[in-house]
Amino acid sequence: EQQTNWDGQRLVKYNGFWLLELLFRPILSARKYFKAKATDVILSTMPKSGTTWLKALTFSIANRSVFPIDQSPLLTSNPHKVVPALEFNLYWGKENPDPELIPDPRILSTHIPFEMLPDSIRESDCRIIYVSRNPLDVFISHRHFLLENKFAKDAVPLALDEAFDMFCQGIHPFGPFWDHMLGYWNAHLKNPERVLFLKYEDLKEDILSNVKKIAEFIGSPFSPEEEKQGVVEQISRLCSFENLKNLEVNKSGNVLGLMKNSSFFRKGEVGDCVNFLTPEMAERIKNLMEREFQGSGLIYNI
């Protein structure tokens, strides 16, 4: 089954999910060839849920003994260059790339739904960190991102209400959003030591305890000395929206020649959706989530 996203990009439906056609091959190659290692950390998200932030945080936490804060690669490279994505970078145009291109312990990101991950990720002892975000903010964030980057050059984008309707039908890159979230939520319930489920809103509310949580989860908790020296605060500050957005490297340049570095840093707020969507639209998503999440234990207050 095929569809055109509201911005003109081609989508294909595969195992119940709408995938961007341009990522279909890389995803299939990753599924066929990627061999996860127990030491890998996989960062999973739906697009616009906080991928950039999670990359910066996890990289900084995992490499804190390698790079002092003032020598962090994040100061001179966009987070998407520092932490590659399976389908965008590793398997983009390469069917079976050399996994040793990335040194251990590897940190990789993906938007692939849990059910569709390479078997070796689901079956190995690697860690998976998922960040979810209020779908209304995801929709608005994605709308801005796609309008800014214009992936389908000649397409005339659909109006906001039509795009929103498609989103509510689950027709959007890596959608339906409820199945994407539930896949990782259920995996987390089944195996909380392997799958950490975070919320963008919780990171905004209390970044320090979430930085510690990520460190513990990847088996690298902060020592009392590190805590005393303020390392948790330093990492949180380095990875903050304001700091990353204002770095020269993130003001220009692009990822893969496709996505402007600056387009990953728009507002970085919770609830920006109210500036664009009507209360009826919010109600529609609320009802949708209530229905889809019923009995799962996943509660998303919006």
- Closest by Cα among 125, 113, 81 to 259: 81
Q: Which is nearer to ligand A3P, 113 or 268 (CB)?
A: 268
Rounded to whole angstroms, how far apart are CA atoms 199 and 50? Answer: 9
Selected binder of ligand A3P within 52, 58, 89, 210 (CB under 6 A): 52
State yes or no: is 172 an active-site residue: no
Restricting to residues 197-236, which ones interact with ligand A3P according to CB under 6 A?
none
Of 284, 282, 263, the C-alpha closest to 272 is 282
**φ/ψ bin of 12: left (φ > 0), alpha (ψ from -120 to 50), beta (otherwise):** beta
Q: Is residue 50 a contact point for ligand A3P (CB under 6 A)? A: yes
**Contact with ligand A3P (CB under 6 A) among 53, 88, 91, 139:** 53
Contact segment (CB under 6 A) with ligand A3P among 88-96, 184-192, 266-274, 294-302 equals 266-274
Q: Name beta bridge partners: 18.
A: 13
Residue 272 within binding range of ligand A3P, rule CB under 6 A: yes
Binder of ligand A3P out of 267, 278, 283, 290 (CB under 6 A): 267
Question: How many CB atoms lie under 10 A from the CB of residue 151?
Answer: 17
Active-site pick, 80, 111, 172, 188: 111
Q: For residues 76 and 96, which CB has a smaller minimum distance to ligand A3P in the complex?
A: 76
117 strand-pairing partners = none
In terms of DSSP bridges, do strands 254-255 and 259-260 run parallel, antiparallel, or are they unpaired?
Answer: antiparallel
Residue 137 makes contact with ligand A3P by CB under 6 A:
yes
Q: What share of the chain is helix, strand, coil (3-state, %, to 5)?
A: 50, 10, 35
Q: Smallest distance from the beta carbon of 52 to ligand A3P, in angstroms? A: 3
User: What residues are labeled active site?
Assistant: 111
Q: Which residues bind ligand A3P (CB under 6 A)?
A: 45, 47-53, 137, 141, 144, 239-241, 244, 264-268, 272
